[in-house]
Amino acid sequence: MPYNNYYMVCRPPLGFVIAAAILNTAILAPVIFHPTVTYAHPQYYYSGGTFYVQNSNNEYEVVNPPIGAIVESIPTDCEEFVLNGKTYYKVDETYYRAIYINGTYKYEVVGKEVN
């Protein structure tokens, strides 16, 4: 998005639909879930702070992040804060916590602001 002769990168809004031919699907990572959470459908995808599901028209729609989703990384523009002695990260309206899995840190969705 242009802003004062610069381009500002922003995440797409909820409900936005992107054709698979336009979206570089190589950047989409399938979302895994905490072992205590079971999701059969749909398959969620993640990239740069945005969650997607693929619809029947072979398009990717921006959706709310599913609670319990685990992703490899979160955007560097996240807000870090401590609540009750635990560190959380906020990306837009989504809250994450770092978890240690198989020798590496990943980030689990733990909540979302409701407006």
Residues 47-70 pLDDT 10s: 889 999 988 888 899 999 998 899
The pLDDT-based confidence of 26 (bands split at 50, 70, 90) is low
Hey, is 100 helix, strand or coil? strand
Q: What is the pLDDT of residue 58?
A: 85
Distance CA 70, CA 104 (A): 12
| Phi and psi angles of residue 54, each rounded to the nearest 5 degrees, phi first | -90, 130
More confident residue, 106 or 4: 106
pLDDT exceeding 90 applies to what percent of the chain?
A: 47
Structure tokens at 111: 């909540």
Q: What is the pLDDT of residue 51?
A: 93
